[in-house]
Amino acid sequence: MLSEYIGIIGAVAGSVSTLLATEGIRHLGSIKVFPSEVRIKYNMNSNFKNSIYEDVKQPFRLGYDLDVYNCCNMPQILHDFTLSFYKGTTLVLEDHPKSDKKLYSVNSKGIISITQVYDMDDFDNLLVGTTKIVLKYKTSKRRSRKFVLYEGQPLYPDTGKKV
């Protein structure tokens, strides 16, 4: 009796395995993030105004532009951006950048550009001597990703360092 249905069972099993394989292939790929420009300004004893703060002394400003490419066939999201500041290998500060959006959606095979800014009144000289700045984020697959925005000479106020 089973031999009568062996052809039907084989056809259904073949269809199911093809469906599972094509769905798996559609979800392959990931988000690729490329920094296109990084701007660092670290000034001491200067007046500085923006929409968030009043006059501040010793402002630290980090701005960066990112080009994001989704090489997957499914829409993906980026979220939970965090900046980590290091002196050597020691973590000094972790904070979120100021941005209009907390979540970015990237269409399949799409490209978007993101500009984010981080401002800080460094009254306690916490960022003096920072040698490395790392940007961390999460994708729609809940994977944590990170890359280095700046790594080099220690940052000091009034250097006007631009990378």
Q: Which residue ranges form the domains of the chain, and what is each CATH number?
A: 29-155 (2.60.40.10)
This prediction's pTM: 0.72
Residue 53, classed as helix, strand or coil, is coil
DSSP per-residue string spanning 59-103:
EEEEEEEEEEEE-SSS-EEEEEEEEEEEETTEEEEEEPPB-S-SE
49 vs 84, 115, 116, 125, CA distance in Å?
Answer: 24, 19, 17, 19
Give pLDDT tens digits for 105-158.
Answer: 888 888 899 888 888 877 677 888 899 999 999 988 778 889 899 999 988 876
Give pLDDT tens digits for 44-60.
Answer: 655 545 545 455 455 78
How far apart CA 97 and CA 89 sit, in angstroms, is 21
